[in-house]
Each structure stands twice: as structure tokens, then as C-alpha cells.
Chains A and B, each alone.
Chain A
């Protein structure tokens, strides 16, 4: 068990060191999310539509799109330099590779989200500080589900001919339930409703996370197999 954790940590550590050296991914994700929000602000007339109604949707679309950039990088970077082969030659469990990648994707995306949230608050003129804790719980659940399924499909897509195109095509339809859930919950939270009002959505998101992490553990061996 200890060995397993060490393997996961080693992969996460490796991803962090690469990112700290190159600083390619994080800045790209952040700027892209910012651009998505800006484009939405220009395409929706905020003097007609209430900001708190479109806000949650815009926020999650921004997270989703920039998260996809992160996922695309996570396995393709390995693929390009033949590092994936190296990773697989290491006497580590395939699930350790999956969890390592899941955790590093999750951390990158969460950091990006923490930077985007204040900007969102300013641009849309919504006070999120009042409801910060429930909002963070929802973002945690949503991001975890996104990364759980995204990491699995990104490991799969990295071996395809047209990888950058196929990842969103495979991933987005499967993410629709969780997108509906988190957008609904974010909207309700920003309207000041307590989390206990939306237990059905929380249950849906949490079971989505658990089931897809479980499925990934069971199927990752079949994807990372040469």
C-alpha cells in the first residue's frame, strides 16, 4: 500500500516539476478560461439577462474548456516523447499511473479555478464570498468527476490519430449529466439556497465520481497495454 502511494506521488511530483520548469500548461489554461468568460460576456447582453442566471453556466463552460486543454496535455505530452512507454515499463501498477495523472490533473484544474473565481466575481458582479464553502464543495465534486472520466478518456485518446479532436467528442456527451448538475447547484447556491436543498444533485454528482473512478480502475489496464 505504501509503495502504491509512493508511486502515485512520484508521478504527481514529476508532473509538477515539469510544469514548474516549462510553465506552459497553467498559463494556457488560465488565459483560455478567461477568454471563454470574456467571449460569453460579449455574446450575452448583461443589461438584459440577469448575471446570476447566466453566470454559473459561463463559469462551468470556462472550467470545462480549459480543463480539456489540461487533459489533452496530460497524456499527449507523455506520448510525444515516448515517456508513456517509459512510465509503463516502470514496475508500477497501471492504476498508480491513472491515479497519479488524475491527481495532477485535478490539482492543476483546481488551482486554475481558484484563480478564475475572483475574476468571475468581479466581472459578473456576484458576491460569492457569502456562499464560499458550499460553492467550493460543488466545485470539488464537479472537478473530480470531470478529471475522473477525463483522465481515463485522455489516456485512450492519446493513442488515436486525431487525438485533440477526439477527446472532446468522446468526453463531452458523457459529461452532460454532471454539467447539468453542477450548473444547477452553482445557480442555487448563488441564490442563497443551502446545500441541504439540493441533496439529489449532490448524490448524483458524488455517485458519478465514485462510479467513474471505479470503472477507470477496472478498465485502465486494458487501455495502457502494449
Chain B
């Protein structure tokens, strides 16, 4: 990489950092000051503004894993493997946040930490699938084999989501129905201020995803570069 490109990259990274920071500041103000308290649930409802964006982010991240896995098997370029790995890590982190904030909300509202409701169950299963995906990555040595195996699991795992969804849905459900997108159209089920707050929060989390992705991808590239240099300089002579 030439120095100019590095500098440009860093500048872009800095802009993203500032944007993410601002978005989170705006989201925090909106969540704790701007938005009115919900009538039936009280202050606890404000958890929703973290919970839903985290859930969105983890599903999005897993979708990126799926796409990158397909692209990797198709093109066999190391770049896609890096993207898949970074995305899976971030997805698992945010999926864990969903799984922890959910019970914290459920305890005062439902009176129980955990209920075997459809969406809770499917999120838990999803979390296990991608934890297994990351474990698989630690089980093989770096190289083409690890990338191929992980890609296969990334595809198989994502294709499982519709099956999990329907099987668990027919099994049982009591989760609050989605309020943002209902049968009447987008955003009809919610107060506009709440919708705006949720929107800001969603933006903040999405920006954070891209920020973290960028950092992790750069890190993996650096690692590859170091490994390559090691092989070239230390073992060749």
C-alpha cells in the first residue's frame, strides 16, 4: 500500500469515528431526554431503543456473513473470508447484547427473566450457531481450509434461519408483536417521536457496525501482511 492511500483510509476512518460518535450522542439524547415515557410500560420501555437496533445489527451482520461466504466460495479471494469473520464476530457480540437486554426488559414486564417465546428462542439458537461458527474458526489453522469450512457453515447456518423461524413460531409465541412494521403499513403502530428515536438509534448502531468492520478488516489485513513478511524474510534465506 502506498502512504497516500493509508492516509486517505485513515481520514475516512476518522470521519466515520466522528459520525458514529455524533450519532450515538444524538441517540442518547433522544432516548433519555427527548422521547416521552411509554404509558403502560414506563421507563423500562426505553431499553427497546437499544434492544431493537442490536437485534437488527446482529441479523444484518449474519446476512453479511452469508453473502461473503457465498462470494468466497465463488471467487476464492481472502478478502471475503476476512469480511465474513469480522461480521460474524460483531454479529455474535450484538446478538449477546440482545439476549441480555431482552431478559432485563422481560423481568419487570413479564415477571420472568426468560420465557420460551418464539423470538427469544430463535435468537438464542442463532447465537449458538454463530458461536459454533467462530469456534470452528479457532479449530483449524489459518489458510484455505479454514476459510472454506467457515464459508460452508456460514451458508448452511443462514439458510437455517427460515426453518428456525417457522418451527419456533408454530411451537409457541408471546413476544410483543412488531410495532414498527405492521399490516397497516410502516410506522403506524408507534408514536412519531418514538419512531424518530428508534430511527436515530438504528443509524447509530449501523454506523458502529461499519466502524467496527473497518477496524477489524484492517487488522486482519495487517496480520496477513506480517505473516507474509515473516515467511518471506525469515524462512527464505
Residues of A within 8 A of B (CB): 149, 152-153, 156, 159-162, 166, 169-170, 173-174, 176-178, 180-181, 184, 200-201, 204, 207-208, 211-212, 215, 219, 222-223, 225
Contacts and interface: CB of A to CB of B under 8 A. Distances in A.
A223 B136 contact: no
Contacts of B139: 160-162, 166
Contacts of B170: 184, 200-201
B128 interface: yes
12 contacts: A169-B132, A170-B132, A170-B153, A176-B164, A176-B167, A184-B171, A211-B159, A219-B155, A222-B148, A222-B152, A223-B148, A225-B148
Given A170-B153, A200-B170, A178 B136 contact: no
Nearest to B133: A170
Contacts of A215: 155-156, 159
A184 B140 CA distance: 37
Interface residues of B, number: 27
Nearest to B165: A177
Contacts of A207: 163
B140 A173 contact: no
B112 interface: no
Q: B-side binding surface: helix, strand, loop or mixed?
A: helix
Contact of A177 (B73, B140, B157, B166): B166
Given A174-B157, A178-B163, A201-B170, A159 B152 contact: no
Contacts of A153: 153, 156
B203 interface: no
Contacts of A180: 167-168, 171
B136 A160 contact: yes
Nearest to B164: A177
A166 B156 contact: no
Q: A-side binding surface: helix, strand, loop or mixed?
A: helix
Nearest to B161: A177
A177 B152 contact: no
B148 A212 contact: no
Given A170-B136, A215-B155, A219-B152, A159 B145 contact: yes
Contacts of B151: 222
Given A177-B167, A204-B167, A211-B159, 11 more contacts: A160-B136, A166-B136, A173-B128, A176-B125, A180-B167, A200-B170, A204-B163, A212-B156, A215-B159, A219-B152, A219-B155
- When A and B form their complex, which 3 residue pairs have the shortest distance between CB atoms, in order from nearest? A177-B163, A177-B167, A173-B128
B76 to A, nearest CB: 9
B125 A173 contact: yes
Given A152-B156, A212-B156, A215-B156, A174 B129 contact: yes
